[in-house]
Amino acid sequence: MHNFYQVEDALRYLKVTFDAKLIHQIMHEERGASLRLLYQLKLALDKHHGRGDLTVTNLRKKAVDTKVKNVQDLARSLPNIHKQYGVEGPSFKSKHLQRIEAKLLKYEVARVNLEKKAHDDDLAEKNMLRSIQQAKR
């Protein structure tokens, strides 16, 4: 009973209907009693917080709009980023594939940098071998 006194004000504020019978069922662990209370609580919270600003996936519309804006900004700046790192430009037209390409861009940049380093190391090794051969002669 003490637990119900702790949450009673919140339940009344949310206008969740509960009575002595429901409390008795929950205390005696009757099947589905606590589930009914939780479902009523969920409905009351949904009504209280307003589902109008939620999307189909239960995300807040503002958060979704922010993510979409970030992706669109990235799609617009992607060609410049590609040029900056010396990687071929975006090859996909659909937004979904451009997002995937944007996520993979850092790996592409790392690959290009590693190839440049390998090429430079190869040239340095060849030059070193030539200088050793020249020194032996």
Amino acid 131: pLDDT = 92
How far apart are the two ends of the chain, measured CA to CA in Å?
Answer: 98
Kindly list the domain boundaries of the chain, sorted by start residue.
2-49, 61-136
Mean pLDDT for all residues in the chain: 77
Give 55's pLDDT tier (boundaries 50, 70, 90).
low
28: left (phi over 0), alpha (psi -120 to 50) or beta: alpha
- Give the lowest-confidence range in 6-10, 104-108, 123-127: 104-108
pLDDT digits (tens, 9 = 90+) for 31-47: 988 888 888 888 888 77
pTM over 0.85: no
pLDDT at 62 over 80: no
DSSP letter for 63, please: H
